[in-house]
A and B are shown apart, each in its own frame.
Chain A
Amino acid sequence: MACEKGEGDVVLLDFWASPFGQRVRIALAEKGVAYEYREEDLANKSRMLLEMNPVHKKIPVLVHGGKPVCESLIIVQYIDEVWAHPNPLLPTEPYPRARARFWADFIDKKIYDCGTRLWKLKGEALQEAKKEMICILKLLEGELGDKKYFGGDAFGFVDVALVPFTSWFYTYETSAGFSVEEECPKLAAWAKRCAEERESVRKTLYDPQKIYEFVGLLKKKFGVE
Protein backbone atom coordinates (compact mmCIF):
# COMPACT_ATOMS: atom_id res chain seq x y z
CA MET A 1 0.00 0.00 0.00
CA ALA A 2 1.63 3.27 -1.04
CA CYS A 3 0.97 5.88 1.62
CA GLU A 4 2.80 8.81 3.17
CA LYS A 5 2.31 8.13 6.84
CA GLY A 6 4.01 5.59 9.01
CA GLU A 7 5.35 5.52 12.52
CA GLY A 8 8.27 3.22 12.97
CA ASP A 9 8.13 0.12 10.85
CA VAL A 10 4.84 -1.66 10.40
CA VAL A 11 4.73 -5.24 9.18
CA LEU A 12 1.61 -7.33 8.65
CA LEU A 13 1.83 -11.13 8.68
CA ASP A 14 -1.24 -12.28 6.84
CA PHE A 15 -2.88 -14.69 4.40
CA TRP A 16 -4.54 -13.27 1.30
CA ALA A 17 -7.96 -14.88 1.73
CA SER A 18 -8.31 -14.36 5.47
CA PRO A 19 -11.26 -12.12 6.35
CA PHE A 20 -9.55 -11.45 9.69
CA GLY A 21 -6.42 -10.25 7.93
CA GLN A 22 -8.55 -8.13 5.63
CA ARG A 23 -10.00 -6.28 8.61
CA VAL A 24 -6.49 -5.14 9.46
CA ARG A 25 -5.64 -4.23 5.85
CA ILE A 26 -8.82 -2.16 5.59
CA ALA A 27 -8.12 -0.37 8.90
CA LEU A 28 -4.54 0.44 7.86
CA ALA A 29 -5.78 1.74 4.50
CA GLU A 30 -8.48 3.89 6.13
CA LYS A 31 -5.75 5.49 8.24
CA GLY A 32 -3.25 5.84 5.41
CA VAL A 33 -0.58 3.84 7.24
CA ALA A 34 2.34 2.53 5.20
CA TYR A 35 3.26 -1.05 5.96
CA GLU A 36 5.02 -4.11 4.65
CA TYR A 37 2.72 -6.99 3.79
CA ARG A 38 4.10 -10.50 4.26
CA GLU A 39 2.13 -13.45 2.91
CA GLU A 40 2.27 -16.52 5.13
CA ASP A 41 2.15 -20.08 3.90
CA LEU A 42 -0.20 -21.53 6.50
CA ALA A 43 1.02 -25.05 5.78
CA ASN A 44 4.56 -23.94 6.49
CA LYS A 45 4.43 -21.08 8.99
CA SER A 46 7.40 -18.75 9.13
CA ARG A 47 9.64 -18.56 12.16
CA MET A 48 8.64 -14.93 12.52
CA LEU A 49 4.97 -15.85 12.78
CA LEU A 50 5.66 -18.55 15.37
CA GLU A 51 7.79 -16.12 17.38
CA MET A 52 5.36 -13.23 17.13
CA ASN A 53 2.27 -15.30 17.95
CA PRO A 54 3.45 -18.24 20.04
CA VAL A 55 0.06 -18.59 21.75
CA HIS A 56 -2.16 -19.09 18.71
CA LYS A 57 0.35 -19.28 15.81
CA LYS A 58 -2.24 -17.54 13.62
CA ILE A 59 -2.47 -14.62 11.29
CA PRO A 60 -3.02 -11.71 11.22
CA VAL A 61 -0.20 -10.35 13.34
CA LEU A 62 0.68 -6.67 13.19
CA VAL A 63 4.30 -6.02 14.11
CA HIS A 64 4.87 -2.36 14.98
CA GLY A 65 8.39 -1.30 15.82
CA GLY A 66 9.23 -4.98 16.33
CA LYS A 67 6.38 -5.53 18.83
CA PRO A 68 3.56 -7.91 17.87
CA VAL A 69 -0.17 -7.32 18.24
CA CYS A 70 -2.40 -10.36 17.70
CA GLU A 71 -6.14 -11.00 17.19
CA SER A 72 -7.76 -8.97 14.42
CA LEU A 73 -10.20 -6.91 16.50
CA ILE A 74 -7.49 -6.11 19.04
CA ILE A 75 -5.24 -5.06 16.15
CA VAL A 76 -7.97 -2.84 14.64
CA GLN A 77 -8.52 -1.12 18.00
CA TYR A 78 -4.76 -0.67 18.35
CA ILE A 79 -4.58 0.91 14.88
CA ASP A 80 -7.52 3.16 15.77
CA GLU A 81 -5.77 4.30 18.96
CA VAL A 82 -2.27 4.82 17.54
CA TRP A 83 -3.43 6.49 14.31
CA ALA A 84 -6.58 8.15 15.62
CA HIS A 85 -7.02 10.32 12.53
CA PRO A 86 -8.16 10.32 9.83
CA ASN A 87 -11.26 8.17 9.92
CA PRO A 88 -11.69 7.26 13.58
CA LEU A 89 -13.31 3.82 13.66
CA LEU A 90 -14.78 3.67 17.15
CA PRO A 91 -17.33 6.28 18.29
CA THR A 92 -16.27 8.80 20.93
CA GLU A 93 -19.01 8.21 23.52
CA PRO A 94 -18.83 5.20 25.90
CA TYR A 95 -22.26 3.72 25.18
CA PRO A 96 -21.97 3.69 21.36
CA ARG A 97 -18.42 2.34 21.81
CA ALA A 98 -19.74 -0.52 23.93
CA ARG A 99 -22.40 -1.25 21.31
CA ALA A 100 -19.83 -1.26 18.51
CA ARG A 101 -17.56 -3.62 20.47
CA PHE A 102 -20.54 -5.87 21.21
CA TRP A 103 -21.53 -6.28 17.56
CA ALA A 104 -17.94 -6.71 16.36
CA ASP A 105 -17.51 -9.42 19.01
CA PHE A 106 -20.81 -11.01 17.89
CA ILE A 107 -19.52 -11.15 14.32
CA ASP A 108 -16.32 -12.74 15.62
CA LYS A 109 -18.18 -15.39 17.61
CA LYS A 110 -20.69 -16.33 14.96
CA ILE A 111 -19.98 -15.74 11.28
CA TYR A 112 -16.79 -17.64 10.49
CA ASP A 113 -17.75 -20.84 12.33
CA CYS A 114 -21.30 -20.94 11.00
CA GLY A 115 -20.05 -20.08 7.52
CA THR A 116 -17.55 -22.91 7.62
CA ARG A 117 -20.32 -25.36 8.50
CA LEU A 118 -22.22 -24.18 5.43
CA TRP A 119 -19.57 -25.44 3.03
CA LYS A 120 -18.38 -28.42 5.09
CA LEU A 121 -21.65 -30.07 6.06
CA LYS A 122 -24.53 -31.74 4.26
CA GLY A 123 -28.12 -32.78 4.89
CA GLU A 124 -29.78 -31.96 8.21
CA ALA A 125 -26.64 -30.37 9.67
CA LEU A 126 -26.37 -28.06 6.66
CA GLN A 127 -30.03 -27.02 6.99
CA GLU A 128 -29.44 -26.16 10.64
CA ALA A 129 -26.36 -24.13 9.80
CA LYS A 130 -28.30 -22.31 7.06
CA LYS A 131 -31.08 -21.39 9.49
CA GLU A 132 -28.48 -20.15 11.95
CA MET A 133 -26.66 -18.06 9.35
CA ILE A 134 -29.89 -16.39 8.22
CA CYS A 135 -30.67 -15.62 11.86
CA ILE A 136 -27.21 -14.12 12.38
CA LEU A 137 -27.50 -11.96 9.26
CA LYS A 138 -30.99 -10.79 10.21
CA LEU A 139 -29.77 -9.77 13.66
CA LEU A 140 -26.98 -7.78 12.06
CA GLU A 141 -29.42 -6.22 9.62
CA GLY A 142 -31.55 -5.22 12.62
CA GLU A 143 -28.57 -3.44 14.13
CA LEU A 144 -27.79 -1.70 10.83
CA GLY A 145 -31.37 -0.53 10.43
CA ASP A 146 -31.67 2.36 8.00
CA LYS A 147 -28.20 3.70 8.71
CA LYS A 148 -25.72 4.18 5.93
CA TYR A 149 -23.10 2.20 7.83
CA PHE A 150 -23.10 0.36 11.15
CA GLY A 151 -21.08 3.32 12.38
CA GLY A 152 -23.82 5.75 11.31
CA ASP A 153 -22.77 8.24 8.66
CA ALA A 154 -19.15 7.19 9.04
CA PHE A 155 -17.64 3.82 8.15
CA GLY A 156 -16.65 2.35 11.51
CA PHE A 157 -15.48 -0.52 13.67
CA VAL A 158 -18.41 -2.87 13.05
CA ASP A 159 -18.29 -2.16 9.30
CA VAL A 160 -14.59 -3.12 9.29
CA ALA A 161 -15.35 -6.27 11.32
CA LEU A 162 -18.07 -7.48 8.96
CA VAL A 163 -17.23 -6.28 5.47
CA PRO A 164 -14.55 -8.91 4.64
CA PHE A 165 -17.20 -11.60 5.06
CA THR A 166 -19.28 -10.04 2.28
CA SER A 167 -17.00 -11.65 -0.30
CA TRP A 168 -17.88 -14.98 1.32
CA PHE A 169 -21.65 -14.43 0.92
CA TYR A 170 -21.61 -15.97 -2.57
CA THR A 171 -19.94 -19.10 -1.20
CA TYR A 172 -22.41 -19.33 1.69
CA GLU A 173 -25.40 -18.76 -0.61
CA THR A 174 -24.27 -21.32 -3.16
CA SER A 175 -23.38 -23.96 -0.55
CA ALA A 176 -26.63 -23.65 1.38
CA GLY A 177 -29.13 -22.46 -1.20
CA PHE A 178 -30.30 -19.06 -0.01
CA SER A 179 -29.92 -15.43 -1.04
CA VAL A 180 -28.59 -12.68 1.23
CA GLU A 181 -30.32 -10.11 -0.97
CA GLU A 182 -33.68 -11.81 -0.47
CA GLU A 183 -33.30 -12.52 3.24
CA CYS A 184 -31.51 -9.29 4.21
CA PRO A 185 -31.90 -6.63 1.50
CA LYS A 186 -30.56 -3.80 3.70
CA LEU A 187 -27.46 -5.79 4.54
CA ALA A 188 -26.91 -6.60 0.86
CA ALA A 189 -27.26 -2.90 0.03
CA TRP A 190 -24.79 -2.03 2.77
CA ALA A 191 -22.26 -4.51 1.34
CA LYS A 192 -22.56 -2.88 -2.10
CA ARG A 193 -22.24 0.57 -0.58
CA CYS A 194 -19.02 -0.33 1.26
CA ALA A 195 -17.44 -1.63 -1.94
CA GLU A 196 -18.58 1.41 -3.94
CA GLU A 197 -17.73 4.13 -1.46
CA ARG A 198 -14.68 2.90 0.47
CA GLU A 199 -11.47 2.61 -1.48
CA SER A 200 -9.99 0.59 1.39
CA VAL A 201 -12.68 -2.06 0.89
CA ARG A 202 -12.46 -2.02 -2.90
CA LYS A 203 -8.71 -2.52 -2.83
CA THR A 204 -8.73 -5.21 -0.15
CA LEU A 205 -11.59 -7.57 -0.90
CA TYR A 206 -11.31 -10.28 -3.50
CA ASP A 207 -13.96 -11.17 -6.05
CA PRO A 208 -16.54 -13.53 -4.50
CA GLN A 209 -15.83 -16.00 -7.34
CA LYS A 210 -12.17 -16.14 -6.31
CA ILE A 211 -13.18 -16.89 -2.70
CA TYR A 212 -15.56 -19.57 -3.98
CA GLU A 213 -12.70 -21.20 -5.90
CA PHE A 214 -10.44 -20.95 -2.85
CA VAL A 215 -13.10 -22.72 -0.75
CA GLY A 216 -13.30 -25.32 -3.51
CA LEU A 217 -9.63 -26.07 -2.89
CA LEU A 218 -10.23 -26.21 0.85
CA LYS A 219 -13.06 -28.67 0.31
CA LYS A 220 -10.76 -30.95 -1.68
CA LYS A 221 -8.16 -30.68 1.05
CA PHE A 222 -10.68 -31.61 3.76
CA GLY A 223 -12.28 -34.32 1.65
CA VAL A 224 -15.64 -32.55 1.44
CA GLU A 225 -17.80 -33.35 -1.61
Chain B
Amino acid sequence: MAASGEEVKLLGVWPSPYVIKVKIALELKGVRYEYLEQEIWENKSELLLKSNPVYKKVPVLIHNDRPVCESAIILQYIDEVWAGARPSILPSDPYERAIARFWAGYFEDTWFYGAIKILQVKTEKEKAEAIEQSFAGLSLLEETYEKSFKGKPFFGGDNIGYLDIALGSFLGWVKTIEKMSGLKLIDGAKFPLLATWAERFCSVATVKEHIPKTDKMIEYCSKVLQPKWHALNN
Protein backbone atom coordinates (compact mmCIF):
# COMPACT_ATOMS: atom_id res chain seq x y z
CA MET B 1 0.00 0.00 0.00
CA ALA B 2 1.31 3.48 -0.81
CA ALA B 3 2.04 5.16 2.52
CA SER B 4 -0.05 8.21 3.35
CA GLY B 5 1.64 11.29 1.93
CA GLU B 6 2.93 9.30 -1.03
CA GLU B 7 1.68 10.58 -4.32
CA VAL B 8 1.71 8.34 -7.35
CA LYS B 9 0.53 9.44 -10.78
CA LEU B 10 0.60 7.53 -14.02
CA LEU B 11 0.53 9.32 -17.36
CA GLY B 12 -0.71 6.98 -20.07
CA VAL B 13 -2.93 6.20 -23.01
CA TRP B 14 -5.39 3.34 -22.78
CA PRO B 15 -4.32 1.29 -25.86
CA SER B 16 -0.62 1.30 -25.03
CA PRO B 17 0.74 -2.09 -23.95
CA TYR B 18 3.61 -0.25 -22.24
CA VAL B 19 1.12 1.62 -20.08
CA ILE B 20 -0.83 -1.58 -19.39
CA LYS B 21 2.40 -3.13 -18.06
CA VAL B 22 2.69 -0.39 -15.47
CA LYS B 23 -0.98 -0.56 -14.46
CA ILE B 24 -0.69 -4.29 -13.83
CA ALA B 25 2.50 -3.84 -11.81
CA LEU B 26 0.99 -1.11 -9.64
CA GLU B 27 -2.11 -3.20 -9.02
CA LEU B 28 -0.02 -6.26 -8.18
CA LYS B 29 1.75 -4.26 -5.50
CA GLY B 30 -1.45 -2.68 -4.24
CA VAL B 31 -0.24 0.84 -4.98
CA ARG B 32 -2.92 3.50 -5.15
CA TYR B 33 -2.36 5.98 -7.93
CA GLU B 34 -3.98 8.64 -10.02
CA TYR B 35 -4.26 7.75 -13.68
CA LEU B 36 -4.09 10.64 -16.15
CA GLU B 37 -5.07 9.83 -19.74
CA GLN B 38 -2.87 11.80 -22.14
CA GLU B 39 -3.10 13.30 -25.60
CA ILE B 40 -0.14 11.89 -27.47
CA TRP B 41 -0.58 13.03 -31.05
CA GLU B 42 -1.11 16.75 -30.68
CA ASN B 43 -1.51 18.96 -27.61
CA LYS B 44 0.76 17.02 -25.30
CA SER B 45 0.22 18.21 -21.75
CA GLU B 46 2.69 20.45 -19.94
CA LEU B 47 3.04 17.73 -17.35
CA LEU B 48 4.01 15.11 -19.93
CA LEU B 49 6.52 17.41 -21.64
CA LYS B 50 8.02 18.39 -18.30
CA SER B 51 8.14 14.81 -16.97
CA ASN B 52 9.58 13.21 -20.09
CA PRO B 53 11.44 15.92 -21.97
CA VAL B 54 13.73 13.43 -23.71
CA TYR B 55 11.11 11.24 -25.40
CA LYS B 56 7.79 13.04 -24.66
CA LYS B 57 6.13 9.62 -24.47
CA VAL B 58 3.97 7.57 -22.13
CA PRO B 59 4.04 5.80 -19.75
CA VAL B 60 5.53 8.10 -17.14
CA LEU B 61 5.26 7.26 -13.46
CA ILE B 62 5.45 10.30 -11.22
CA HIS B 63 6.22 9.35 -7.62
CA ASN B 64 6.27 12.23 -5.16
CA ASP B 65 6.87 14.61 -8.08
CA ARG B 66 9.80 12.59 -9.44
CA PRO B 67 9.25 11.14 -12.91
CA VAL B 68 10.34 7.66 -14.01
CA CYS B 69 10.22 6.89 -17.74
CA GLU B 70 10.40 3.75 -19.92
CA SER B 71 8.08 0.92 -18.90
CA ALA B 72 10.81 -1.67 -18.22
CA ILE B 73 12.55 0.81 -15.94
CA ILE B 74 9.28 1.77 -14.26
CA LEU B 75 8.49 -1.86 -13.50
CA GLN B 76 11.85 -2.40 -11.83
CA TYR B 77 11.40 0.85 -9.90
CA ILE B 78 7.97 -0.25 -8.63
CA ASP B 79 9.41 -3.61 -7.60
CA GLU B 80 12.23 -1.90 -5.67
CA VAL B 81 10.21 0.86 -3.98
CA TRP B 82 7.39 -1.43 -2.88
CA ALA B 83 9.69 -4.36 -2.22
CA GLY B 84 7.78 -5.20 0.94
CA ALA B 85 4.56 -5.84 -0.96
CA ARG B 86 4.48 -9.43 -2.17
CA PRO B 87 4.77 -10.91 -4.69
CA SER B 88 8.08 -9.76 -6.15
CA ILE B 89 7.87 -8.77 -9.77
CA LEU B 90 11.43 -9.68 -10.74
CA PRO B 91 12.89 -13.07 -9.79
CA SER B 92 15.45 -13.03 -6.98
CA ASP B 93 18.09 -15.06 -8.81
CA PRO B 94 20.43 -12.93 -10.97
CA TYR B 95 20.43 -15.41 -13.86
CA GLU B 96 16.63 -15.63 -13.90
CA ARG B 97 16.49 -11.84 -13.79
CA ALA B 98 18.80 -11.63 -16.81
CA ILE B 99 16.61 -14.11 -18.71
CA ALA B 100 13.43 -12.22 -17.81
CA ARG B 101 14.98 -8.91 -18.90
CA PHE B 102 16.23 -10.46 -22.13
CA TRP B 103 12.91 -11.96 -23.26
CA ALA B 104 10.93 -8.91 -22.20
CA GLY B 105 13.29 -6.73 -24.22
CA TYR B 106 13.17 -9.06 -27.23
CA PHE B 107 9.41 -9.19 -27.24
CA GLU B 108 8.75 -5.49 -26.98
CA ASP B 109 11.71 -4.16 -28.99
CA THR B 110 11.80 -6.77 -31.74
CA TRP B 111 8.84 -9.14 -31.86
CA PHE B 112 6.06 -6.62 -31.41
CA TYR B 113 7.38 -4.24 -34.08
CA GLY B 114 7.59 -7.18 -36.46
CA ALA B 115 4.05 -8.34 -35.66
CA ILE B 116 2.53 -4.88 -36.07
CA LYS B 117 4.00 -4.83 -39.59
CA ILE B 118 1.36 -7.41 -40.50
CA LEU B 119 -1.16 -4.57 -40.32
CA GLN B 120 1.12 -1.88 -41.70
CA VAL B 121 2.61 -3.30 -44.89
CA LYS B 122 1.07 -2.90 -48.33
CA THR B 123 2.04 -5.97 -50.34
CA GLU B 124 1.06 -9.60 -49.76
CA LYS B 125 4.74 -10.56 -49.94
CA GLU B 126 5.69 -8.15 -47.14
CA LYS B 127 2.71 -9.40 -45.11
CA ALA B 128 3.80 -13.02 -45.55
CA GLU B 129 7.33 -12.11 -44.44
CA ALA B 130 6.03 -10.31 -41.37
CA ILE B 131 3.85 -13.31 -40.47
CA GLU B 132 6.76 -15.72 -40.89
CA GLN B 133 8.98 -13.61 -38.68
CA SER B 134 6.29 -13.42 -36.00
CA PHE B 135 5.89 -17.20 -36.00
CA ALA B 136 9.67 -17.63 -35.79
CA GLY B 137 9.76 -15.41 -32.71
CA LEU B 138 6.88 -17.26 -31.05
CA SER B 139 8.68 -20.54 -31.77
CA LEU B 140 11.70 -19.29 -29.86
CA LEU B 141 9.51 -18.27 -26.96
CA GLU B 142 7.67 -21.61 -26.94
CA GLU B 143 11.04 -23.40 -26.89
CA THR B 144 12.18 -21.27 -23.98
CA TYR B 145 8.99 -22.00 -22.06
CA GLU B 146 9.49 -25.71 -22.70
CA LYS B 147 13.15 -25.62 -21.64
CA SER B 148 13.08 -23.28 -18.69
CA PHE B 149 9.55 -22.74 -17.42
CA LYS B 150 7.65 -25.97 -18.06
CA GLY B 151 5.51 -27.20 -15.24
CA LYS B 152 4.97 -23.67 -13.95
CA PRO B 153 1.73 -21.82 -14.57
CA PHE B 154 3.59 -18.57 -15.28
CA PHE B 155 7.06 -17.40 -16.29
CA GLY B 156 7.21 -15.97 -12.79
CA GLY B 157 6.40 -19.35 -11.23
CA ASP B 158 3.19 -19.63 -9.20
CA ASN B 159 2.40 -15.96 -9.61
CA ILE B 160 2.75 -13.60 -12.54
CA GLY B 161 6.10 -11.85 -12.69
CA TYR B 162 8.13 -9.47 -14.79
CA LEU B 163 8.17 -11.55 -17.95
CA ASP B 164 4.47 -12.47 -17.72
CA ILE B 165 3.58 -8.79 -17.42
CA ALA B 166 5.99 -7.77 -20.18
CA LEU B 167 4.59 -10.32 -22.65
CA GLY B 168 1.02 -10.45 -21.45
CA SER B 169 0.43 -6.71 -21.75
CA PHE B 170 0.73 -7.15 -25.50
CA LEU B 171 -2.02 -9.80 -25.69
CA GLY B 172 -4.68 -7.19 -26.43
CA TRP B 173 -2.64 -6.13 -29.43
CA VAL B 174 -1.98 -9.72 -30.45
CA LYS B 175 -5.74 -10.41 -30.50
CA THR B 176 -6.28 -7.20 -32.46
CA ILE B 177 -3.71 -8.17 -35.09
CA GLU B 178 -5.24 -11.65 -35.28
CA LYS B 179 -8.78 -10.35 -35.78
CA MET B 180 -7.80 -7.68 -38.28
CA SER B 181 -5.58 -9.94 -40.38
CA GLY B 182 -7.69 -13.08 -40.06
CA LEU B 183 -4.83 -15.19 -38.79
CA LYS B 184 -4.06 -16.93 -35.52
CA LEU B 185 -0.68 -15.91 -34.08
CA ILE B 186 -0.65 -17.66 -30.71
CA ASP B 187 -2.05 -20.77 -32.30
CA GLY B 188 -2.69 -23.54 -29.75
CA ALA B 189 -1.73 -26.15 -32.33
CA LYS B 190 1.66 -24.56 -33.03
CA PHE B 191 2.41 -23.07 -29.60
CA PRO B 192 0.48 -25.07 -26.99
CA LEU B 193 2.40 -23.80 -23.95
CA LEU B 194 2.13 -20.16 -24.96
CA ALA B 195 -1.56 -20.48 -25.84
CA THR B 196 -2.42 -21.97 -22.45
CA TRP B 197 -0.25 -19.41 -20.69
CA ALA B 198 -2.00 -16.58 -22.56
CA GLU B 199 -5.44 -17.76 -21.48
CA ARG B 200 -4.26 -18.23 -17.93
CA PHE B 201 -2.68 -14.76 -17.86
CA CYS B 202 -5.79 -13.03 -19.17
CA SER B 203 -7.94 -14.62 -16.46
CA VAL B 204 -5.76 -13.38 -13.60
CA ALA B 205 -7.74 -10.93 -11.47
CA THR B 206 -5.11 -8.18 -11.44
CA VAL B 207 -4.87 -8.36 -15.22
CA LYS B 208 -8.40 -8.80 -16.54
CA GLU B 209 -9.63 -5.23 -16.39
CA HIS B 210 -6.45 -3.75 -17.87
CA ILE B 211 -6.46 -5.52 -21.22
CA PRO B 212 -8.73 -3.42 -23.47
CA LYS B 213 -11.59 -5.10 -25.35
CA THR B 214 -10.54 -6.24 -28.82
CA ASP B 215 -13.31 -4.39 -30.67
CA LYS B 216 -12.32 -1.14 -28.98
CA MET B 217 -8.70 -1.74 -30.05
CA ILE B 218 -9.77 -2.55 -33.62
CA GLU B 219 -11.70 0.70 -33.76
CA TYR B 220 -8.69 2.62 -32.41
CA CYS B 221 -6.36 0.90 -34.85
CA SER B 222 -8.54 1.50 -37.93
CA LYS B 223 -9.63 5.04 -37.08
CA VAL B 224 -6.48 6.49 -35.49
CA LEU B 225 -3.39 4.40 -36.23
CA GLN B 226 -3.85 3.13 -39.77
CA PRO B 227 -4.41 6.61 -41.25
CA LYS B 228 -1.20 7.72 -39.54
CA TRP B 229 0.73 4.73 -40.91
CA HIS B 230 -0.55 5.39 -44.42
CA ALA B 231 0.44 9.04 -44.14
CA LEU B 232 3.96 7.97 -43.14
CA ASN B 233 4.21 5.46 -45.97
CA ASN B 234 3.21 7.94 -48.68
Of the listed stretches A28-36, A69-77, A117-125, A206-214, name the one at the interface; the rest are far from the partner chain.
Answer: A69-77
Q: Chain B at the A interface: mostly helix, strand, loop or mixed? A: helix
Closest to B140 in A: A55
* B73 within 8 A of partner (CB): yes
Residues of B within 8 A of A94 (CB): 77, 80-81
CB atoms of A105 and B94 under 8 A apart: no
The proximity string for A residues 84-118 relative to B, scoring 1 for CB distances below 8 Å and 0 otherwise, is 00000000001101100110011000000000000
| A interface residues, tally (CB under 8 Å) | 23
* B98 within 8 A of partner (CB): yes
* A82 within 8 A of partner (CB): yes
In the complex, A106→B69 CA distance in Å? 11
CB distance from A20 to the nearest CB of B (A): 14
| B interface residues, tally (CB under 8 Å) | 22
* A177 within 8 A of partner (CB): no
Of the listed stretches B17-25, B43-51, B99-107, B195-203, name the one at the interface; the rest are far from the partner chain.
Answer: B99-107
Closest to A110 in B: B54
CB atoms of B95 and A67 under 8 A apart: yes
In the complex, A69→B76 CA distance in Å? 19
CB distance from B75 to the nearest CB of A (A): 10
**Given A54-B140, A82-B94, A94-B80, A101 contacting B73 (CB threshold 8 A):** yes
Chain B residues 57-112 with CB under 8 Å of chain A are 63, 66, 68-70, 72-74, 76-77, 80-81, 94-95, 97-98, 101-102, 105-106
Some 28 contacts from A to B, beta carbons below 8 A apart, are A54-B140, A56-B106, A69-B95, A69-B98, A69-B102, A71-B101, A71-B102, A74-B105, A75-B98, A77-B97, A77-B101, A78-B94, A78-B95, A78-B97, A78-B98, A81-B94, A82-B94, A94-B77, A95-B68, A97-B77, A97-B80, A98-B74, A98-B76, A98-B77, A101-B70, A102-B70, A102-B73, A106-B54
By a beta-carbon cutoff of 8 Å, the part of chain A in contact with chain B is 54-56, 64, 67, 69-71, 74-75, 77-78, 81-82, 94-95, 97-98, 101-102, 105-106, 139
By a beta-carbon cutoff of 8 Å, the part of chain B in contact with chain A is 54, 63, 66, 68-70, 72-74, 76-77, 80-81, 94-95, 97-98, 101-102, 105-106, 140
